[in-house]
Amino acid sequence: MSMMQASQGSTMETSCQRDWSPLSNEQLSVYEEQGYLHFKGLFTEEEVELGLKVVEEALAADNTHISQHASFADYEHTVRMRDAVSFLPGLDYFLDHPKLVGPLMSLLNNSVQVLGTEVFVRSLADHALEYWHTDGGEYMQGIQLAPGSPSLQVKAQIFLTDVTESNCGNFLLIPGSHRRVPAEQNALCYMEDLDEPLRQGILPEDAIEVKAAPGDVLLFPYSLWHAVAPNTQRVRKTFIFRYGNLWHRPHDYLTQPADVLERMSPRLRRMFGDFGEQVHPSDFYKPVGQGDVMAGDAFPL
């Protein structure tokens, strides 16, 4: 085979057996139209228990923040541990899980990078825990993708505690809003025209309240309008993972330290933007061996 013929092959070509499955056409259509996918029971009861142990380890570590940034909103009812993977090896299992990798490969056009890892613990409050906003800052808020385009950035929220009732700090969203640009733009992407009614307990007519059981996962893009309802029931514990393409900048780290990368599988290292010692700048756009690396190797709990 000539060099020209070799260069024309897809970076996703592989002779390896993949441990993940892509989304179905029906799932892709739902995501395209509604702007989210709710996977029920994606993680087992045993895996949820593993996740809760990771949360307890995070709380005991007293390592709640990366360096402070002007965009960080800290609330007394919420503990957010950013760049959590850097001090919580137990997160590797979830980040590298085939049932999560597969949907992300579909939504992000096979170019998946972990942009951020957070552990969220939300305690009780009789007001909204977070107001209506989009993710990624005001520059991303102004970017609207054409229908059928792969996603730019995607968030995964993994529920570890019961949110099947109202007033449990439920995730609020407006289906289809990922295709609309808010009337006003500001640095933190809040929407005052929706937030003032929310302070009075009033939701937009087309908003829905996500009711999730432990082990459920919600996937949604940066552009989906979302908020968080009051929590008067029980402490809510979740993981939130941010993803983008390999050519995106991370959200809560610059590069992961060598000792963090060394504990990871080849796939997870690639998902943190690591190409080894012989990295070339073009690898982030045309990753060599992407198909083989991302095929992965299924592992038991």
Q: How many other C-beta atoms are found inside a 10 Å radius of the C-beta of residue 216?
A: 23
Average confidence (pLDDT) over 75-89: 92
174: left (phi over 0), alpha (psi -120 to 50) or beta: beta
Please report whether residue 156 resides in a domain: yes
51 vs 85: CA distance, rounded Å:
13
- Of all residues in the chain, the percent with pLDDT exceeding 70 is 95
Mean pLDDT of 45-65: 90
Q: Looking at per-residue confidence, does 159 or 3 come out higher?
A: 159
* Banded model confidence at residue 246, pLDDT cuts 50, 70, 90: very high
Which residue matches tokens 């993977």? 85
Which candidate, 124, 101, 103, places its Cα nearest to that of 114? 101
Q: Is the pLDDT of residue 72 over 90?
A: no
> Does residue 69 sit within a domain?
yes
Tally of domains in the chain: 1
DSSP secondary structure code for residue 80 in this structure: E
The answer on pLDDT for 301 being more than 70 is no
Indicate the pLDDT class of residue 76, thresholds 50, 70 and 90: confident
Token output for 297: 């190797």
User: Has residue 11 been placed in a domain?
Assistant: no
Say yes or no to pLDDT of 96 above 50. yes
Helix (H, G, I), strand (E, B) or coil at 261: helix
Neighbours of 71 (CB within 10 A): 9
Residue 287 counted as domain residue: no
Q: Where are the alpha helices (DSSP H) in the chain?
A: 3-7, 25-34, 45-61, 91-95, 98-107, 137-141, 192-199, 258-262, 266-271, 290-295
Domain that holds residue 142: 32-277
Give the model's confidence band at 184: pLDDT under 50 very low, under 70 low, under 90 confident, else very high: confident
Cα–Cα distances in angstroms (integers) from residue 25 to residues 17, 179, 279, in the given order = 21, 20, 35
How high is the pLDDT of residue 47? 98
Are the beta carbons of 222 and 181 closer than 8 angstroms?
no
Domain harbouring 245, CATH code: 2.60.120.620
Q: What is the pLDDT of residue 70?
A: 80
Q: pTM for the full model?
A: 0.94
The pLDDT of residue 67 is: 76
The pLDDT value given to residue 183: 87
245-257 average pLDDT score = 95
Structural domain includes residue 242:
yes
Q: Is residue 19 part of a domain?
A: no
Q: Residue range 177-203: average pLDDT? A: 93
Q: Does residue 77 fall inside a structural domain?
A: yes
DSSP string for 13-49: --SSPPS--PPPHHHHHHHHHHS-EEETT-S-HHHHH
| Residue 1 located in a structural domain | no
